[in-house]
Amino acid sequence: MNTQTYRIAPATERSGNGAADGDGKCGRCAYRTLCLPPGLGERDLARLEGMLGCRRRVARGDVLFRAGQPFSNLYALRFGHFMTCRSDHRGERYITGFQMAGDLMGMDAIGNAEHASTAIALEDSEVCEMPYARLQALMAELPQVMAHFHRVMSQEILRDQSAIRFLGILRADERLASLLLNLSARYAMRGFSPRRFQLRMSRDDMGRYLGLKLETVSRLLARFRDQGLIRLERRELEILDMRRLEALAEGAHEGAAA
Return contacts of 232-241, CB within 8 angstroms, 24+ apart.
Answer: 235/198, 235/199, 235/200, 236/196, 236/198, 236/199, 237/180, 237/196, 237/197, 237/198, 237/199, 238/195, 238/196, 239/180, 239/184, 239/194, 239/195, 239/196, 240/195
H or E, element range at 55: strand 54-58
Q: Rounded to an integer, what distance in angstroms lies between the CA atom of residue 102 and that of residue 30? A: 9
* Residues 149 and 160: beta-carbon distance below 8 Å: no
Instruction: Report all structural domains of the chain as residue ranges with CATH numbers, in order of start.
Output: 3-142 (2.60.120.10), 170-249 (1.10.10.10)
Which pLDDT score, from 0 to 100, does residue 207 have? 96
Which residues lie across from 56 on neighbouring strands? 5, 127
Q: Rounded to an integer, what distance in angstroms lies between the CA atom of residue 22 and that of residue 5? A: 17
* Residues 197 and 183: beta-carbon distance below 8 Å: yes
Which pLDDT score, from 0 to 100, does residue 112 have? 92
Residues counted in the chain: 258
Which pLDDT score, from 0 to 100, does residue 4 have? 57
Helix (H, G, I), strand (E, B) or coil at 100: strand
Which pLDDT score, from 0 to 100, does residue 17 have? 38
H or E, element range at 84: strand 81-87
Question: CA 233, 160, 125 angle in degrees (round to 5)?
Answer: 50
CB atoms within 10 A of CB 135: 18
Which pLDDT score, from 0 to 100, does residue 79 have? 93
The DSSP string of 157-223 is: HHHHHHHHHHHHT--HHHHHHHHHHHHHHHHHHTTS-SSEEE--S-HHHHHHHHT--HHHHHHHHHH
The DSSP string of 119-166 is: EEESSSEEEEEEEHHHHHHHHHH-HHHHHHHHHHHHHHHHHHHHHHHH
Which pLDDT score, from 0 to 100, does residue 12 have? 39
For residue 121, which phi and psi values (nearest 5 degrees)? -75, 130
Each residue's pLDDT expressed in tens, for the chain with a length of 258 residues: 455 544 444 433 433 433 334 445 677 777 777 777 777 788 888 888 888 878 899 999 999 999 999 999 999 999 999 999 999 888 888 999 999 999 999 998 999 999 999 999 999 999 999 999 999 998 888 888 888 888 888 888 777 777 776 677 889 999 999 999 999 999 999 999 999 999 999 999 999 999 999 999 999 999 999 999 999 998 999 999 999 999 999 886 654 444
- CA atoms 116, 117, 118, 123: torsion sign: negative
Please report, for residues 17, 90, 134, 200, 227, the alpha-carbon distance to residue 119 in angstroms, rounded to integers and kept in the order given. 39, 20, 22, 15, 35
Helix (H, G, I), strand (E, B) or coil at 11: coil
